[in-house]
Copies of this chain bind each other. A is one copy, B any other.
Amino acid sequence: MKNSNGVLKQKKSHELLNPQKKLGNTRHSLAHLLAAAVLKKFPNAKLGIGPAIETGFYYDFLLPRQLTSGDLKDFEETMRTMILECLRFTGKKVTPVLAKKLFKDQKFKLELISDFTKEKKPLTVYSTGNIFMDLCRGGHVKNTSEINPDAFRLTHIAGAYWKGNEKNPQLTRIYGVAFDSKKELEDYLMKQEEAKKRDHRRLGKDLSLFAIADEIGPGLPLFYPKGAILRRTVENFIQDLQEKNGYEPIWIPHITKGELYKISGHLDKYDAMYPPMKLKGEAEYYLKPMNCPHFMMLYRTRAHSYRELPIRWTATTTVYRLEKSGELSGLTRVRSLTQDDCHVFAKADQIENEINLMLDMLEKVYGAFGFNDFRVHISTHDPKDIKKYIGERKIWKQSEKILENLIQKRSWSFEIVPGEAAFYGPKLDFIFKDVLGREWQLSTIQLDMNLPKRFELEYTDENGKRKEPIVIHRAILGSTERFLGIIVEHFAGAFPFWLAPVQVSILTINEKTFPFAKGIERELRKSEIRVEIDSRNETIGKKIREAEMQKVPFILIIGDKEVAANKVAVRERGKGDLGQKTLEEFLKIAK
C-alpha cells in the first residue's frame, strides 16, 4: 500500500525522470544509427527527421525502392555493429552557410535549415563517430557503448508525408522499439503480439459481437445477438446487485430541451455535446451527453422528506458524446456510451454509509470479474486555493476524511491527489490494470454540492425545515461499451462461464443423434444455460474447431455411444476432453 501522504500527480521533478530521459537519449541515438545504416545501404537516400517516441524511435527516408523485412534485418545488423564500435556522439553549433554545405545532398535537411534560419533558431549538428552527421537539437548518449545492442528492434514501416502534409512527397518511416534490457524488449514485443491477438475490434468481428456501419456512423457500434447478450449479462449483473442493495431503477429519455442544461450549467461549459435540434416554434433540443441533470429534475418533480433519504436512483441508459472522429476506436472510444449511472440523494450524515455501500458493491463486482489489480485515486481539494471550491468547508473536510478512512480500511492500493477534486466535490477513481498491464479508469464515485444548488433541490428535515441534499454520483463499469472492449481484451474473448454469450455448444456426430441432442438442449435451457446446437452435416473435427474458435466454455459431443449411455462427451475450454458425463454431472461442473 502506498503512503497516504501520497504522490502528487503531474508534479514529479525532472530529477526523478532521469532514467526515462536516459532511455529517451538511447532511443534518439538509435534513430541516428538507423539513418547511418540506411545510408550505408542506400547512399542516395534522402533523410527526413528521426525523433525518439514513447517506446522507441522512427526515422523518415526517401528511398530508391520499397523495403522488405530483409532490409530491416540488415539495418539492425549494421546498427548493432556500429554500437559495438563505441562511437562518440558530439554536437556543435553551425552557421547556416556551413550547415547548407554539410547537407548539400540532403534536400529535406536543406529545407529545415532554411526554415530554422527564417525563424532565427540556432542550428546544431550531431556527429556519430565519423560515420554519420545529422542536423539535430541533441539529446543523445555520449557513446554508443551505453546502448544495449540486444534491447532494440526495428518493428515495421509506414508511409508518412514530409512534414505531415499530403501535398509533400511520401517518405518511408521505419519504426523501432528500444529498452534498457533484452528482457524488457521481449516483454514488450510479447505484449504487443498478445495485444494484437486480443484486439477487441478483431475479436468483436470473429466472435460476432458488434459491427460499425459507415451508413450509421463512426463510434456508434451495433451489437449482434452475442454482443447484445454479453451487454445484457454485464448490465443485469450490476442492476441485480444494485437492487439487492436498496437501489431503485428509474427511466429517463435520451433528449431534453436546452433549458435543462442552462440550469445545470452544461450548455456553456460542456464541449462534447451534439449540436441542437431546432424545432420550429419550439425550443432547441439536445441529445443528453450525461444523465445527472435528468436525475436532478426527476427528484425536483416531487417534495421529499428526510424519511425518504437516502434516495438511491440508478439508470442504465445511453448518452451521446461528440468525440472527434479520428479518436474513435472500436468499443473503447465511442460516441454512444451506455452508463450504469447512479445518483444518491443523501443527508450529510449519510455520506459515510453510502460511500461504504458503494465500495462494498465495487468490491463484489471486481471480484466477480476477477479484477484483482486495481488502485484508487482519492482526489481532494487544493488547500492553497480554497476559493475555487463551492459547498460548505465542513462537508468538504468531513467527506474527504471519510473517503480516506474508508479506502484505508480496505487494504487497496491508493494515492491521495490534492488539487484534483472537481470544484463541486472530492472524488474516488478506480484504475484497473489488465492482464497486459495496461491501465483503464473504470469506476468513479463523486460528491456533488453544485447540482443540488443549481436545481434548488430540497428535503424537509425532522423539524420541518428545508434542507439541501448532497448528491453522490457513481458508475461502476463507466460505460457498457468501453467495459466490454476492456474485458474482451482482458479475457481474450474467452469469457468466464457466467459471462459467455454461448455457454455450451452441443455438436451432433450424425443425424440420428439429433433428437437426443435436442433433449439435452431443452434441459440446459431449463437450467438457464445459454446453449447452441450444431447439427450441420460437417465432420465432428471441423465442428469442434469452430466451437473452439468461438471460445465456448463447454462443448458437448453427442455420438451413438453417448445416446446409448444417456451421457454427453464433455470438452472444457483450456482443459480439453473431460470424458463422458451424465447431464447432472455436467451441470455440476458447469455451475
Give residues in A with beta carbon < 8 Å to B: 208, 211, 213-217, 220-225, 227-229, 231-232, 244, 248-257, 259-260, 263, 274-279, 282-283, 285, 287, 294, 297-298, 300-302, 307, 313, 315, 318, 320, 322, 325, 336, 525, 536
Contact = CB atoms under 8 A, between A and B. Distances in A.
Nearest to A224: B250
A37 to B, nearest CB: 42
Contacts of A224: 250, 298
B322 A279 contact: yes
Contacts of A257: 215-217
B254 A320 contact: yes
A241 to B, nearest CB: 14
Contacts of A287: 254-255, 277, 287
10 contacts: A213-B301, A216-B256, A216-B260, A216-B294, A217-B255, A220-B256, A228-B250, A229-B249, A274-B277, A277-B277
A208 B304 CA distance: 13
Contacts of A255: 217, 220, 274, 287, 320, 336
A222 to B, nearest CB: 5
Contacts of A301: 211, 213, 222
Contacts of A249: 225, 228-229, 232
Oligomeric state, in number of copies?
2
A227 B225 CA distance: 28
Contact of A252 (B222, B263, B283, B307): B222
A523 B307 CA distance: 24
Contacts of A216: 253, 256-257, 259-260, 294, 297
A93 to B, nearest CB: 43
Contact of A222 (B217, B231, B250, B336): B250
Contacts of A336: 253-255
A208 B250 CA distance: 11
Contacts of A259: 214-216
Contact of A250 (B217, B225, B278): B225
Nearest to A338: B251
A325 B302 CA distance: 24
A260 B212 CA distance: 13
B215 A282 contact: no
A2 B254 CA distance: 44
A315 B222 CA distance: 11
Contact of A298 (B213, B244, B282, B298): B213
Question: Which 3 A/B pairs are nearest by Cβ-Cβ distance?
Answer: A225-B248, A223-B251, A211-B301
Contact of A228 (B208, B251, B279): B251
Nearest to A274: B277
A458 to B, nearest CB: 16
Contacts of A525: 244
Nearest to A254: B254
A150 B428 CA distance: 73
Contacts of A298: 211, 213, 222, 224
A277 B275 contact: yes
Nearest to A480: B251
Contacts of A222: 250-253, 294, 297-298, 301
Contacts of A251: 222-223, 227-228, 231
Contact of A253 (B220, B250, B274, B282): B220
Given A225-B249, A301-B211, A256 B307 contact: no
Given A222-B297, A248-B225, A256 B215 contact: yes
A339 B363 CA distance: 36
A232 B239 CA distance: 12
A261 B224 CA distance: 21
Given A227-B251, A277-B287, 6 more contacts: A215-B297, A217-B257, A244-B525, A253-B318, A255-B274, A255-B287
A400 B276 CA distance: 44
A254 B322 contact: no
Nearest to A334: B253
B215 A307 contact: no
A213 to B, nearest CB: 5
A248 B253 CA distance: 25
Nearest to A227: B251
Contacts of A313: 225
Contacts of A279: 274-275, 322
Contacts of A244: 525
A274 B244 CA distance: 39
A19 B502 CA distance: 63
Nearest to A213: B297
Contacts of A282: 325
Contacts of A276: 277
Nearest to A230: B251
A256 B253 CA distance: 17
A315 B263 CA distance: 34
A315 B224 CA distance: 11
A286 to B, nearest CB: 9
